Chain A
Amino acid sequence: MTDTGPYTAQKPPIAESPERLRERIPGWGADLDPINRPSATRLQWQEDTGAHWEFPERQPEKWPRERSVEHKMLTPVFGTACPPRWLSGAIRRYSYARYSEGRSARWLLFVLADRIDAFENHVESFLRLRPDNPITETGVKSEFTHHGLRSRLGQHRADLKHQPLDPIIVAGPWAAAAGGAYVGARRLVDSLRG
């Protein structure tokens, strides 16, 4: 006789009975009844949220705050971290003003601005004499203090295949900048020598 298992009206049986599960697992079934699950009904009227306003007072806008064109107006409350500045800021402002959230261009411009922003800030960090330090800022020191090798060797980790890419992502732009500076300096020296 063949085992017809999943081809009948019954589900394959569970090995453990509810009694056994209740014994083994603290609180098993405590929220079996959806009434006990706070988000079982996803949209549920909340009488008291703590809000004592119908519409919140408006936070003062201290600089022209960028906002999504999918919003009818600036939200009454908004974050004030890192106002846009320089070229990265101009790109971000443009993208916010121009594209809806449905457009890929909006997000790709942000990705571009993010890379430019990192570059701008690295340059500034040198000018301000608080230079970025890729060694301390990546925390790689912890490889030596927190078992970098033992955490990887003999494990069945899938991420080992691509972790070698991380230093390239971090150091690549630095190496490119250093290489560019070196080539530029040599050209300058050569041209000065005539």
Chain B
Amino acid sequence: MRAMVYRGPYKVRVEEKDVPPIEHPNDAIVRVTLAAICGSDLHLYHGLMPDTRVGMTFGHEFIGVVHEVGSSVQNLQPGDRVMVPFNIYCGSCWFCKRGLFGNCNNTNANNYAVGAYYGYSHTAGGYDGAQAEYVRVPFADVGPSRIPDWMDDEDAVTLTDACPTGYFGAQCGDIVEGDVVIVFGAGPVGLYAARSAWLMGAGRVIVIDHLDYRLEKAREFAFAETYNFTQYGDIVLEMKKTTDFFGADVAIDAVGCEADGAFFQHVTAAKLKLQGGGSPVALNWAIDSVRKGGTISVMGGYGPLFSNVKTGDLMNKGITLHTNQCPVKRQWPRLFDHVRNGYLKPGELVTHRVPLEHIAEGYHIFSAKLDGCIKPLVVPTAV
């Protein structure tokens, strides 16, 4: 089969690989019909996630058709059209049974701290991902769902990570009616989070980024007020001013470890890899922009090492920090309702559809933010 393969920082290509075999009785092999590239993949692509091995296939957002099932699979049959959450989880451990699907204890041998995800380095369990023609899906009776007939493919694929993560991000803000919510980052996760904040009754939603075309999308898709942080000497002070010097009730970090806005922080963390946890610029801005006793929801991805977070202000202000890898399938029933009711059309953020054979261009366009790119999809050849 054809598969995207990582060749070292900033380099990927398509190679011929074997179709993955069934390794466990509850595995399924899924023929991928549509995959996506996620902001998280950029952290791998830039060489920021430790133990990202050359030869690995990335991709954790995908839909497809069941090709083969293991001997213990009861809920799926070959031919079923399925959407698969990015989390790989057993459904039976202490954590899964309590809904922490992103924190399964039975699927990531490499790390206790990290859950398992498709195509997300050995730090996330060493599973090959779905930017390929076929992918191994462990615990086929637990993660995947049949795609409802009424749902279109681009909605389905964005519902496997980016959209539920944004929605979960808004929930982690514990928004009450009339709250002022600031979302840092106007990528797919931030845009879905901003849109979801309204569902929870926010009174004002502000989105911050430095890419004008994404901020335009934030106004259009997420009905948000927007700020380009490069246009203000001090974005934190600006947030204080716009809230009558009170601060926001809630801030959502949808940026993660490659945050821009402070040259030194970005270069030491994202380029020179000296702050192994990543650049905490957006998180620090969040800490300084919320009011005392406010809440911060961290959806942005960070590395497993230290970084320069302003813990002092976090404590002095009595801020509540809520964060996790999104338990995707827990979000689905309610999100499906919202899609059906027309409250949300997740596929609206898709801007690019890249053939698998052009995967290198796809990564570059998304990484360098060319051509108005917000959400790129990957279309495998054999469909």
Contacts and interface: CB of A to CB of B under 8 A. Distances in A.
B318 interface: no
Nearest to A54: B92
A101 to B, nearest CB: 5
- Chain B: interface secondary structure? loop
A160 B382 CA distance: 38
B100 interface: yes
A118 B9 contact: yes
Interface string B22-55: 0111100000000000000000000100111111
A165 B271 contact: yes
B334 A51 contact: no
A114 B26 contact: no
Size class of the B contact interface (CB-based, 8 Å)? 35 or more
Interface stretch (A151-159, A177-185, A186-194): A151-159
B24 A81 contact: no
A163 B270 CA distance: 11
A137 B327 CA distance: 33
Nearest to B10: A170
Interface string B163-190: 0000010011010011010000000000
Contacts of A114: 47, 50-53
A137 B13 contact: yes
Contact of A31 (B56, B246, B334, B368): B334
Nearest to B123: A110
B19 interface: no
Contacts of A141: 360-361
Interface string A87-122: 010001000100001001001101101100110111
A92 B370 contact: no
A5 B244 contact: yes
B92 A51 contact: yes
Interface in A2-48: 5-6, 11-12, 14-16, 18, 21, 24-32, 36-40, 42-46
B266 to A, nearest CB: 6
Contact of A27 (B211, B260, B341): B341
B344 A79 contact: no
B23 A59 contact: yes
B338 A77 contact: no
B108 interface: yes
Contacts of B245: 5-6
Nearest to B306: A104
10 contacts: A31-B199, A40-B174, A60-B23, A66-B122, A122-B8, A133-B13, A143-B370, A156-B210, A156-B212, A165-B271
Interface of B: 7-13, 15, 23-26, 47, 50-57, 72, 74-75, 88, 90-92, 96-100, 105-113, 116, 122-123, 125-128, 138-139, 141-143, 168, 171-172, 174, 177-178, 180, 196, 198-201, 203-204, 210-212, 223, 228-231, 243-246, 260-261, 263, 266-267, 271, 273, 276, 303-306, 322, 324, 327, 330-331, 333-334, 338, 341-344, 358-365, 368-372
Interface of A: 5-6, 11-12, 14-16, 18, 21, 24-32, 36-40, 42-46, 49-57, 59-60, 65-68, 70-71, 74-82, 84, 88, 92, 96, 101, 104, 107-108, 110-111, 113-114, 117-118, 120-122, 125, 130, 132-134, 136-143, 145-148, 151, 155-159, 161-163, 165-166, 169-170
